[in-house]
């Protein structure tokens, strides 16, 4: 039974949600009133409750993506009141609680909008472009079964800390959705820097940055024009300094590739 004191804390909001049956269907906003909203509900729990109500009425539930619900997987990507992941700071949508809203609020919920993230349905977008960028170079090549002891390669503390900061990227795509150019530079910079700061990432460092930037361009993301909206909405507070770091790596790698000395072994055929 709900106590009188806590029931007074319950409130009502209207969710104004983008509904679109599929990539080529036309979309529109639809209002869903929600009552008895607890301040302690997460935003995704509210969507669950609204969907339960729609299911009971035999209506199509709102499609939204989610998995871990604890800020780890980067799946729960949507824009709330014009901001990717909503009004919080340093949190993903699944970590947003209804206490961030007031009684009577109308909350506008939309999918991430970017050419490289085509819409699948309602709030769900296809962010496999990020997978293709990762597959282009976001790894190190090692012989499996021959991993050296973790402590046998010393890593300076500052580098380890910075690499860890970059490694916290969860691939949510908020940086792209916030950028007026739909640039993926913060995501790619985080992935490139994470490995580029570690000794294990050095052998493929040049190849990696060239391949990942090329994959980013091929996926249709825009260019960075130093707006810094990306780091402002990043749930992991990844700083745009990593973009400058990646740009330096990229220019160095490009220069080395262009002026690579011709080896005697390859010079014989001419
Ligand atoms: S850099 Fe931040 S906003 Fe961009 S994908 Fe990674 S975690 Fe998400
Ligand atoms: S559901 Fe995994 S980060 Fe939100």
pLDDT for residue 145? 82
pLDDT at site 153: 87
Helix (H, G, I), strand (E, B) or coil at 37: strand
Biggest distance spanned by C-alpha atoms of the chain? 89
Per-residue pLDDT tens digits for 180-211: 999 999 999 999 999 999 999 999 999 999 99
Choose one of 69, 84, 91 to mutate for the ligand 2 pocket test, by most ligand atoms within 8 angstroms of C-beta. Answer: 69
Q: Which domains does the chain have, with CATH numbers?
A: 9-121 (3.10.20.30), 128-142+154-258 (1.10.1060.10)
Q: Collect all residues with Cβ–Cβ distance below 8 Å to 235 and sequence separation of at least 6.
A: 71, 85, 90, 91, 92, 95, 170, 172, 174
The pair of three-digit structure tokens given for residue 76, joined into one six-digit string = 């729960």
Query: Distance between CA 82 and CA 112 in Å, rounded?
Result: 10
Measured CA to CA, the distance from residue 113 to residue 231 in angstroms comes to: 17
The whole-number pLDDT of residue 263 equals 61
All residue ranges of the chain with pLDDT < 70 are 1-8, 262-270
Residue nearest to atom 3 of ligand 2 (CA): 71
pTM of the shown model: 0.91
Q: What is the pLDDT at residue 6? A: 53
CA–centroid distance, residue 102 to ligand 1 (Å): 28
Cβ < 6 A, ligand 1 pocket? 74, 169-175, 186-187, 190, 234-236, 238
In this prediction, residue 267 carries a pLDDT of 37
Q: What is the pLDDT of residue 54?
A: 98
């Amino acid at each position: 039974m709900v106590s009188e004191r806590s029931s007074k804390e319950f409130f009502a909001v209207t969710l104004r949600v983008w509904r679109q049956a599929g990539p080529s269907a036309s979309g529109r906003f639809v209002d869903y009133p929600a009552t008895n909203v607890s301040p302690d509900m997460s935003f995704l729990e509210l969507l669950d409750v609204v969907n339960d109500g729609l299911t009971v009425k035999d209506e199509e539930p709102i499609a939204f993506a989610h998995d871990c619900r604890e800020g780890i997987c980067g799946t729960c990507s949507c824009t709330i009141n014009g901001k990717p992941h909503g009004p919080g700071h340093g949190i993903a949508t699944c970590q947003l609680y209804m206490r961030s809203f007031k009684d009577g609020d109308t909350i506008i919920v939309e999918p991430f909008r970017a050419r490289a993230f085509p819409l699948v349905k309602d709030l769900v977008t296809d962010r496999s472009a990020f997978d293709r960028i990762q597959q282009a170079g976001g790894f190190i090549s090692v012989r499996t079964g021959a991993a050296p002891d973790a402590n046998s390669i010393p890593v300076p503390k500052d580098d380890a800390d910075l690499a860890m900061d970059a490694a916290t990227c969860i691939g949510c795509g908020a940086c792209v959705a916030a950028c007026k150019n739909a640039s993926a530079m913060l995501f790619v910079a985080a992935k490139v820097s994470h490995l580029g700061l570690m000794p294990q990432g050095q052998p493929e460092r040049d190849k990696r940055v060239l391949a990942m930037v090329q994959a980013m361009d091929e996926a249709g993301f825009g260019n960075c024009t130093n707006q810094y909206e990306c780091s402002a909405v990043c749930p992991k507070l990844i700083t745009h300094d990593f973009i400058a770091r990646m740009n330096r790596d990229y220019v160095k790698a490009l220069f080395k590739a262009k002026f690579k000395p011709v080896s005697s072994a390859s010079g014989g055929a001419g």
